[in-house]
Structure 1
Amino acid sequence: MMKVAHIIKSLDTGGVETWLKDLSYITEDKLDFILHNNSASYYEDEVKENSAKITRIPLRLGMLTFSKKLYNHFKKESFDVVHSHVNLASGWMLFIAWLAGVPIRVAHCHNDKRSEYKTHSFSKKLYYFFAKVLVNLFSNKKIAVSKDCAPSMFYSSSKVNILPCGLNLIAKDNKLSRSELGLQNDDIVLAHVGRFVPQKNHLFLLDLMTLLKSESNFKLLLIGDGKGYTEVEEIIGKRNLTNIKLLGVRSDVKELMKYTADFFLLPSKFEGLGLVAVESQSNNLFTLVADTVPKDVKISDFLEFLPIDKASTWKERLLELTASKEHIKAKRLPFDNRKFSIEENYRQLTVIYSGSKAL
């Protein structure tokens, strides 16, 4: 058994956070989640029930006080592993872990943000450069969720373990009635799960549903929350998009995928992997993703890549797929998703921590 600290902003309902929550159910390690947020987040009670510890060290304390508190916490707890999930900020966290004598220091890349970084100011680009240097200097274990996203944090010469974040992927047997969600049995139900942030490209989905207004049986379920929620809600009202339902944060996402939705849509501007699309395929849901999403996400014959800049192409493809009933065929197609299971992830994570070669 090892003593492991995971550093992350919060334990709200994102892909990484859900992975950490699922990990807390099966791990034999003693987990400590070091959070930067000031108030309780969605999964905190659940992970505490699994004997994990929550330590809150807010960034608002200022860099000097924050660093001192983090260093003191590392020294006091004598962690075997510090595993950081905060992108390039991981460099500073792992530098402090190095100062505190933590033997295993893991930087984990969950997103390919290179295209986003290019749009920032010179001073921010300079920060990213030095942050990346720190990541590569002070992490002695490097993990990325896909080969495509690894260069976002690591140099090409680095030994990087590719570990797609596995989840507890399969839905429970709780079939949801469409009528409970205000849907008709003959509706074509589209679903999207994601935080309301620019990366997830909700405005593209609004454009798509504007084009589909003439097809009255198409409905879109938007699941999630975030800073952009109000803006999306306002645009839905202005465009009178009665074909969109905002469902907020839900605990039955897998069940919605398996029993309610006909298609899953992921038009993200960038992704490290796009784990939610793995989850949708695992629940036999025909999945359409943007061509900006890593190719590693395709684990079945019922996922297609479409251009991110053409909502009209997505509309036409949806009409073609529904006419040929591909979404119904997907419900019966077998595939192997074992490498994305949380159990396989934990096995590989244990190998990485123990000092074995990159997987």
Structure 2
Amino acid sequence: MRLFLTSLALGLTLGFGSALAQPVALTTRLVTDALDQPLFAVAPPADPRLFVVEQTGRIRIIVDGKLAEAPFLDLSASVSSGGEQGLLGLAFHPDYANNGRFFVNYTDKDGATHIVGYKVSADPAVADPASAGELLRIDQPFANHNGGWLGFGPDGLLYIGMGDGGSGGDPGNRAQNPDELLGKILRLDVDGATPYAIPEANPFAEGGGRPEIFALGVRNPWRPSFDGDDFYIADVGQSAYEEITVITAESAGANLGWNIMEGPACYGAQSCEQTGLVPPSYSYSHDTGGCSITGGYVYRGKAIPEIAGQYFFADFCDSRVNSFAYADGEAGDVFDWTAQLGGIGGITSFGVDSAGELYLTTIEGKLFEVVRAE
């Protein structure tokens, strides 16, 4: 993601002009404006609290709709923050209620990526910093394209989005190199061994590449998410396209194409052999505006049933908000919610609480909930 670039009727679709089966008016409700560069919001399973990641190094808690003063975890002394670096990701173990385990993704003072596991302390509002156990340290050749997301799939495995290492155009050809962890989606079994085991279905589990790799060919995956078995990977483009590719947890070895392809188009002057590449499920050109996609979630909450099944995403550069429903291997009509949900600042991430309700974070320090308009 390129951070720091510094009507009640439903809007028309992008080029389709149709409406949802049940039109609904949405708006945003400000939860707090006291955050420091929030990049993500997530809740442990069945936990009524919402945990917010601040790029500068803290994890904050929203309790009963209010921001708790004390952080859940403070890593600001270890984190390099600014640009595309910082505390970038948080994932709670599916059995967090019993084992208290969670995982973070951050860049250190030298710019390297760290994937670290922690446990909550005896106080459920405070993590135990002494419980830190590192899973991976990955050197970053440049300061940008760190990825940063991590989350658990329906298989109980931990997935990690790694950018291509930065600069522009993937000069080291890392995204297509199976011996590099950069430019990949990784998959680890954090319950099978310490610090992790390799899932048997990973494409290089028996050799031929790094065994942690699940999928190849991503540039800077910013906020992937699961909806059941469907895995939505939003990937920030270079100079022409932003894209979303939907695969599944069974798609081990999928190659999403970067840097052979950017979105639906060949990239650069190199050979454009597309055999075996997975094309994007949806992409949009920079000619239509926008320049840095923010992936989101399929809405599965109960408060707004009219939008159930819609995958929401945004663009950091122009604060647009769109959605589509994915079915039978295809993205449906794309709806433009910008008039209702956009214009709130640089949208860094979506979030969901344990009830499936949808949130937005902005680089200006705000957290919003998506709600039905009165």
* Fold in common (TM above 0.5): no
With CA pairs under 8 Å and 6+ residues apart, which has the higher RCO, 1 or 2?
2
Greater Rg over alpha carbons, structure: 1
TM-score by length of 2: 0.27
TM-score by length of 1: 0.28
Name the one with the larger helix percent: 1
Name the one with the larger strand percent: 2
